Amino acid sequence: PAPAPAAGPLLGFAAVATSSGDAIVVPAGYSAQIFTPWGSPLFSDSPAWRADGTNTGEEQARQVGDNHDGMSYFPIDGSNEGLLVMNHEYCNYEYLFGAEFMTPWTADKVSKALNAHGVSVLHVKKNGAGRWEVHIGSPYNRRITGKTPMTLTGPAAGDALLRTTADPSGLNVLGTLNNCANGKTLWNTYLTCEENFNGYFATAASPAPTRSAAFVRYGISAGGSGYRWHEHEDRFDYAKEPNEANRFGWVVEINPFEPGSTPKKRTALGRFKHENAEMRLAADKRVVVYMGDDQANDYIYKFVSDGVFDASRGLANGNLLDAGKLYVAKFDAGAASGDFMGVGEWLLLDKAANPTLAADARFATQAEVLIHARLAADAVGATKMDRPEWITTHPQTGEVYCALTNNSGRTTTDEANPRAQNRYGQIVRWREAGDDAAAMTFEWDLFVLAGNPVAYPDRQDLRSGSANVSADNTFNSPDGIGFDGAGRLWIQTDGNFSNSGDYAGQGNNQMLVADPESKEIRRFLVGPSGCEITGLAFSPDYRTMFINVQHPGEAGSHPRAPDASMRGSLSMDEYLAQNPLAFSQWPEAGGGRPRSATVVITKDDGGVVGS
Ligand code: FEO
Ligand code: CA
Ligand code: CA
Ligand code: CA
């Protein structure tokens, strides 16, 4: 079915050119307001952010977190006042701490890093001049961090694999980590999704204990990602607490309107490196949640609740997320091969009902299927995708879109993931049978094969991208995607910003808008140096758009950038001493420390953003 027609052309702005500057670029007739950067106050007693990185761990707990990511707006007074709830995915140590940032390595630095993660709930309002402000001191304002008490619910709650020394019940976890993208429920709560949780776990034991197959599959390693939390907190040392890592990698539900409420880790949705959680209602009112596992050659999942949504039950609908079926997607070529479209099916991950899993001794119970969902999905033969990032559904048709960001290591191709060494990514979309989100089969096609006609002018070369990619809109690595109410598809990128070689002419990470029917894609925004663009929320009238600029100035792998290839023989401390804050000064400019921040985008004539 065709999307609902918009009045006038769907895309009404003049495209912006690519840029490698250290600034936000928006179309003519639009304004961008920098909002709530890392370290901003939320509470009446929030300490001032210090530009030299010397705020303590306790101070960080009273400030906005770092690396803003997925976000939702919850109206209080329509489009004038609401709760802006946002994720804080990770941190960059060279910016989080002062000059000698790794030396000495202290318990307070671990505390600060834990408190820079999680979620911020911000009561926001438009002032008399039409500018958005945070209502500092509002009782709604809240920081949820890597230390906040939360509850495990659903089929895996209390399982032996979730019990630790501190929590023999297997029910009570401290904190949420690597809060990547998000979701909003039909009962007005927030979903925050735990992505690369593995990187926080490491061990000081020598030799390191032999890892289980599940630890290997989930990427838990003796060195972790360099966060070094295990040196001060035993729960992050997997030789001491082998089950703590199993308590991360979940979708977490938060009620932003009750600041004292305990967040719930909903285990029925499975454990993997969650990107976002897109909720949709099935024809019979069961709740469906689409989810991507963002790793090269990992999978797309969907959860279908057993019970049905009943608006009159309000928050009690949350229990729908504790009982249901988890499925993983298989994409097949269909009747013709080579046309980038085909058919697909949803494979059930159920210990009792799927004979493959019933016969697999690695899973004693359904709880173990959920805790080790990746292993179960491997066993049933799901399709290995090019890093599933955000999933979104068209507001009128229910058509589902998933950004597959890139997979430069891919060797074996299939029709939905058609390129080896895929550096650019693609967006796949599918239509569920009968347009019912709970259907077991679907038809799919590639909406765009991102590519670079500047670097690869031969349009027969798949690296040049599909027909809707041109030298004017070329981009790599689609990540955040989402529809507005009129059916514009917003596409945000988190990719290579070198602007050279395979990426020549693509500039910094950016945001584009697409018309799902014509497939036209137009560049709307370019971000500052070293950032990714992520997070997408609108006021109900779609006249205010909130996005996030994450990790400006990041030049290597996190949490510590730049990597050894840039430093040469210099140690990290020596390198930064010689190149202080070399990569971005956004948003302060003039030598400031780069900070993740929200950006509020409005049209100067007060119109709908994108129109
Ligand atoms: Fe946190 Fe897959 O991006
Ligand atoms: Ca085909
Ligand atoms: Ca992302
Ligand atoms: Ca990302």
Q: Each residue of 171-218: pLDDT tens digit? A: 999 999 999 999 999 999 999 999 999 999 999 999 999 999 999 999
Q: What is the mean pLDDT of residues 307-316?
A: 98
The answer, yes or no, to whether any atom of ligand 1 lies below 6 A from the CB of 293, is no
Give residue 193 CA to ligand 1 midpoint distance, Å: 10
Give residue 313 CA to ligand 1 midpoint distance, Å: 33
Residue 544: predicted pLDDT: 98
Q: What is the mean pLDDT of residues 109-138?
A: 97
Given a cut of 90, is residue 115 above it in pLDDT?
yes
Q: What is the mean pLDDT of residues 313-339?
A: 97
Any idea which ligand is nearest the CA of 180? Answer: 1
Residue 574: predicted pLDDT: 75
| Cα–Cα distance for residue pair 141/597, rounded to 1 Å | 17
Q: Lowest-pLDDT range, 92-106, 119-133, 548-562?
A: 548-562
Residue 353: predicted pLDDT: 97
Please identify which residue in the block is written with the tokens 């009620």.
Answer: 255
Element holding 256 (H helix, E strand):
none
CB 300 within 8 A of CB 391: yes
The answer, yes or no, to whether any atom of ligand 1 lies below 6 A from the CB of 89, is yes
pLDDT in tens, 43-59: 999 999 999 999 999 99
Given a cut of 70, is residue 557 above it in pLDDT?
no
Q: Lowest-pLDDT range, 7-11, 244-248, 284-288?
A: 7-11
Q: What is the DSSP letter of 274?
A: E
Instruction: Report the nearest-CA residue for atom 1 of ligand 1.
Output: 180
Given a cut of 50, is residue 130 above it in pLDDT?
yes
Closest ligand 1 atom to residue 69 Cα is: 1
Q: In whole numbers, what is the pLDDT of the chain averaged over residues?
A: 95
Q: Lowest-pLDDT range, 82-96, 296-310, 530-544, 556-570?
A: 556-570
Residue 573: predicted pLDDT: 67
Q: What is the DSSP letter of 491?
A: E
User: In 79-204, where does DSSP find H-type helix?
Assistant: 93-96, 107-116
Q: What is the mean pLDDT of residues 152-169?
A: 98
Given a cut of 80, is residue 252 above it in pLDDT?
yes
Residue 409: predicted pLDDT: 97
Given a cut of 60, is residue 358 above it in pLDDT?
yes
Q: What is the mean pLDDT of residues 325-353?
A: 97
Residue 3: predicted pLDDT: 44
Q: Which residues contact 294 (CB under 8 A, 6 or more apart)?
A: 180, 195, 273, 274, 275, 387, 388, 389, 405
Any idea which ligand is nearest the CA of 90? Answer: 1
Residue 603: predicted pLDDT: 98
Element holding 217 (H helix, E strand):
helix 213-217
Residue 100: predicted pLDDT: 74
Residues, CB-to-ion distance under 5 Å, ligand 4 = 494
Residue 5: predicted pLDDT: 47
The pTM for the full model equals 0.96
Q: Lowest-pLDDT range, 79-93, 280-294, 457-471, 581-595?
A: 581-595
Given a cut of 50, is residue 1 above it in pLDDT?
no
Q: pLDDT > 90: what percent of the chain?
A: 90
Residue 326: predicted pLDDT: 99
Give residue 445 CA to ligand 2 midpoint distance, Å: 8
Residue 7: predicted pLDDT: 60
Give residue 182 CA to ligand 4 midpoint distance, Å: 13
The answer, yes or no, to whether any atom of ligand 1 lies below 6 A from the CB of 195, is yes
Instruction: Please write down the HEC assignment for all residues of 377-429.
Output: HHHHCCCCEECEEEEEECCCCCCEEEEECCECCCCCCCCCCCCCCECCCEEEE
Name the pLDDT band for 567 (thresholds 50, 70, 90).
confident
Q: Which pair of tokens denotes residue 133?
A: 């402000």
Given a cut of 70, is residue 454 above it in pLDDT?
yes
Residue 2: predicted pLDDT: 43
Give residue 522 CA to ligand 3 midpoint distance, Å: 20
pLDDT in tens, 493-546: 999 999 999 999 999 999 999 999 999 999 999 999 999 999 999 999 999 999
The answer, yes or no, to whether any atom of ligand 1 lies below 6 A from the CB of 194, is no
Torsions phi, psi for 196 (to 5 deg):
-85, 60
Give residue 389 CA to ligand 3 midpoint distance, Å: 6
The answer, yes or no, to whether any atom of ligand 1 lies below 6 A from the CB of 403, is no
Residue 94: predicted pLDDT: 85
Please identify which residue in the block is written with the tokens 């792998």.
Answer: 557
Residue 566: predicted pLDDT: 67
Instruction: Give 86-113 as a DSSP string.
Output: EEE----HHHHS-SSTTSS--HHHHHHH
pLDDT in tens, 270-297: 999 999 999 999 999 999 999 999 999 9
Given a cut of 70, is residue 591 above it in pLDDT?
no
Given a cut of 60, is residue 4 above it in pLDDT?
no
Given a cut of 70, is residue 308 above it in pLDDT?
yes
Q: pLDDT > 70: what percent of the chain?
A: 95
